[in-house]
Structures are given as structure tokens and as C-alpha cells.
Amino acid sequence: MEVNMKISTKVKNRIIAFVLSLSLVLGMGIIWSPAAMAASSSSTSLYNNTGKPIADSLRTSFNGSLAQTIAGRAIWYMEYGYMVYGHSKYPTTGYIDCSNFVSLVYKDFGYSITSAARNYGQVGVKVAGVSVKNGTLIGADKLKPGDILTFQRTSYISHVAMYIGNVNGKPCFIGTTTGYPTAIGIVSGFKNWYGTQFHDVRRVLPASAYVAGGKITDKGPVIPAKYQIKPSKPIIMPKNLPAGF
């Protein structure tokens, strides 16, 4: 039986935001319909006012190193991936969760990283001297593009994201988050959940990855067999973009 109910756009957005927030905190995978995940005016505004300026700034400072190319690929997926949050396989379904996203980006460049968040404590090496105090990231100068930030709930890591660079004095990282048109967004603060649940930072890349002009093996981005969100603009491949993202 189909029930025809008229609900205001504002109420719909609040409901979606609440459930997505709950899914992040509880580690739940929720399968959304394309209609439910359609970009709202508020999510588009968040991207235009927050994510896009950060991405544009990183494009202007792009030096062609492997590290910055990997960070740029994460941004490319944010803008052209049209991902939906959910515990499934992105290549076939278009659904992604936090650990699968980081793993996906690294895999484009030949790195095999676990897709299970709780196992990220064994990924790469720990970056010493980085912590959060009163909502401020201590040791931000030690971070490098591509570093993996981990966040712990109770006794295990429950969320991961990728550091992409410092913009206007703020360390920025990208990963699955609520409020954006798709499942991927950029965060530049450590207050609230990101501060209280911060665990550590892991580094996968060798020293040569931070040198401009080095050799880069790029398999190219993964295009899923099915999009849960209909692309709102033509998908431009990284090789056809000035900075690759």
C-alpha cells in the first residue's frame, strides 16, 4: 500500500541528516534510494561554502607529487564519484563507507590497504606527536597529504579519513560525512565528535611520495557499475583536469 504524504523539504533534510549522523556514530550501513539522497539546497550550500573553496585552494598549490595526487583523487571522488554511504562494494553498487573510501583511493595508485576500519591501527606507521586538545589539533605541522586519521569508539577504531592539506591555517581531511550532496565531504575542525574520538594518524607513503615530479603509477578512478545518485554534471576523468581533480 502506497501512502501519499506531503512533507516539507526542510523536514525531509532534517530527517536524513539525523539518520545519517546516527549511522556514522553507530557504524550502521544504510541503503538509501536515489530520491532520498538527492542533493538538497542546504547540502549544496555546504559544499559551495566549505568543500569547494578548500578544494580550489589545494588545486592552486598542487605540486604533482604522489602524496598530493592521492589527496587530489580523494577530492575527485567527492566531486565526481556520486557515492552513497553504506557497507557495500562501491565498484558494483556505488555504496561506500569510511574505510572502503580510503582503501579505494589508495588502490588507484597500487596500494593495498584494509577496508575494515578497526584494522587501521596496523596500517603503515604511526605519526608521533599528533593529538587533539580542547578541539585543537596538536602537531598539525607533522601531517602530510595522504596521512590517515583514525577515530576510536570505545575499544576499537570506528572511523577513518584522509588528511589532504592545510588551508588558511586549518588542517583539512576528507572522508564519509553527513551534510554534503554525496557521502564524501571535507572537514576542517576537531571540535565535537572528531575531537573527542580522535585516536591517531597513520602514514603509508614513503619519503619519495612527497617529492614533486616523481613517477606515479595511476590505475585511474573506479567508475561503479551502478550509480545510486544520478550524476548532476558530466564526469570528467582526472587525466582531463589541470591538477587531476
Q: For 56-68, what is each residue's pLDDT tens digit?
A: 999 999 999 999 9
Residue 40: its pLDDT value, please?
A: 57
- The answer as to whether 157 is a domain residue is yes
- Residue 9 confidence class, pLDDT cut points 50, 70, 90: very low
Residue 23: its pLDDT value, please?
A: 41
Domain of residue 214 covers 9-240
Residue 18: its pLDDT value, please?
A: 42
- The answer as to whether 4 is a domain residue is no
- The answer as to whether 2 is a domain residue is no
- The answer as to whether 61 is a domain residue is yes
User: Does pLDDT of 139 surpass 80?
Assistant: yes
Residue 213: its pLDDT value, please?
A: 87
What is the DSSP pairing of strand 95-96 with strand 84-85? parallel
What is the spatial distance between Cα 40 and Cα 214, in angstroms, rounded to a whole number?
Answer: 41
User: Does pLDDT of 29 surpass 50?
Assistant: no
- The answer as to whether 1 is a domain residue is no
User: Does pLDDT of 28 surpass 60?
Assistant: no
Residue 49: its pLDDT value, please?
A: 87
- The answer as to whether 141 is a domain residue is yes
- The answer as to whether 53 is a domain residue is yes
The CATH number linked to 90 is 3.90.1720.10
Q: Specify the number of domains making up the chain.
A: 1
Least confident among 12-16, 134-138, 215-219, 228-232: 12-16
- The answer as to whether 245 is a domain residue is no
- Residue 45 confidence class, pLDDT cut points 50, 70, 90: confident
